[in-house]
Amino acid sequence: MKPRVSTTVPETPPRISTIDWEGNAAGTLLLLDQTLLPTRVEPRRIDTLDEVIDAIRRLVVRGAPAIGVTAGYGAVLIARTGGDGYAALREGLPRLRTARPTAVNLQQTVDRIAALVARLEREGTPTAKLSGHLLDEARTIHAEDEGRCESMGQHGAELLTDGMTLLTHCNTGRLATGGIGTALGVITTAFHQGKRLDVYAGETRPLLQGARLTAFELAEVGIPCTLLADSAGAGLIGSGEIDAVLVGADRIAANGDTANKVGTLPLALAASHFGVPFYVVAPTTTLDTSIADGTAIPIEGRGADEILDALGPNRVPAGISARNPAFDVTPNALVTALVTERGVIHHPTTESIKPLGAPSR
């Protein structure tokens, strides 16, 4: 009998939205503080550009689509800083755009906002009305992401059958998006269709998005979840116990090469070797058709302290250095299928991805 984590959250904590906006354009951005989960379920109030950049960098909010949605609301905060909102946006949007480098959803949102701001300026919209327009746009971006998650869930659930045992990595659910999630959204959709599923969640060193967040979400929904040390994933795939691997993505190049949380590539290699399906679930806002393949995807390097202090202070010898790439790139040849809101592409290539075109609205 394999050891399980609890399938219910003790004393069910309040279900707080991952991203919310309180009030009108003068209101506040509320982010469920993911650095505190699962022990504390608390929203963090965000009122300034500096606070939103800090929240994105420290992973208060994380997951590619969620970062993109947050950036939409971040633009409202910039526009209402007083004085010339257009000038503030010209200065602030590039800073927001580079808060984290790998998730293209962030850049995609900021570019969309910049285009809207340019149009509003051309049309002579007064600066006092800017934040209202941007709040409308942020809410639209949020709702669109929610819709894409629903569609990915429906398409992806068709790949899953009753009784499957799945392996996933990092966190790709409601905490990572503006809706039900990408890979985890597929899993929860299939579960709600009545399919019985067992899910192994890789703990996702060093920041433990799998152990802290995916286990929390699966418990919220009531899906059986077993935690796995990241280094055990390939062996489990090789043992024949895993029917499919499902992951999300932070950026997908034109040919289908996929950047996702570090530790994804070893799972893809193992899945390919042992003939287990490896599914990438991501909205079209995660596609970056401006780059031909994964070699051009910028990989975020995070602080060495996240590795050195992962087990608490002074647990590694003094003076030891650490390298902390936050993502790795899985070549398209290892991807059995890419699930987007527009459907399933088997064995993605430049030719098969091209018809997806621009992100759907």
- Output the smallest distance, CB 56 to ligand MRU, in A: 9
> CB-based burial of residue 353 (10 Å sphere; 0-12 exposed, 13-18 middle, 19+ buried)?
buried
Q: Smallest distance, Å, CB 140 to ligand MRU? A: 19
250 is catalytic: yes
Quick one: 79 or 329, whose CB is closer to ligand MRU? 329
List C-alpha distances in Å: 226 to 67, 71, 115, 215. 27, 33, 45, 8
- Tokens, residue 182: 């990408």
The residue at minimum Cβ distance from ligand MRU is 248
Q: How far is the CB of 53 from ligand MRU (least distance, A)?
A: 14
181 vs 331, beta carbon nearer ligand MRU:
181
- Determine the Cα–Cα distance for residues 356 and 211; give it in Å rounded to an integer: 33
Report angle CA 279, 233, 264 to the nearest 5 degrees. 45
Give Cα separations from 329 to 8, 114, 245, 332 (angstroms). 34, 29, 16, 9
In whole angstroms, give the CA distance from residue 192 to residue 204: 26
- Closer to ligand MRU at the Cβ: 52 or 326? 326
Please state whether 178 falls in left (phi above 0), alpha (psi between -120 and 50) or beta: alpha
Count of beta carbons in the 10 Å neighbourhood of residue 143: 14
Angstrom distance (rounded) from CA 263 to CA 325: 10
Work out how close the CB of 162 gets to ligand MRU at its nearest, in angstroms, rounded to a whole number: 25
Q: Residue 121 Cβ, how far from ligand MRU at the closest point, in Å?
A: 32
How big is the chain, counted in residues? 361
**Quick one: 79 or 227, whose CB is closer to ligand MRU?**
227
Computed on alpha carbons and rounded to an integer, the radius of gyration of the chain in Å comes to 20
CB nearer ligand MRU, residue 120 or residue 199: 199
C-alpha 18 chain-centroid distance: 12
**Smallest separation (angstroms) from ligand MRU to the CB of 229:** 18
- Name 237's Cβ contacts closer than 8 Å, sequence gap at least 6: 167, 245, 267, 270, 271, 274, 276
Nearer to ligand MRU among residue 117 and residue 326 (C-beta) = 326
Q: If DSSP codes are grouped into helix, strand and coil, which group holds residue 306?
A: helix
Give the whole-angstrom CA distance, residue 202 versus residue 242: 13
**Residue 55 near residue 18 (C-beta atoms within 8 A):** no
Q: Give whichever of 137 and 217 is closer to ligand MRU, judged by the CB atom.
A: 217
Which residues would be at the binding site for ligand MRU (CB under 6 A)?
Answer: 59, 62-65, 103, 170, 172, 176-177, 182, 209, 248-250, 260-261, 326
Least distance in Å: CB of 262 to ligand MRU?
8
In the set 33, 250, 257, 288, the catalytic residue is 250
Q: Which positions are annotated as active-site residues? A: 250
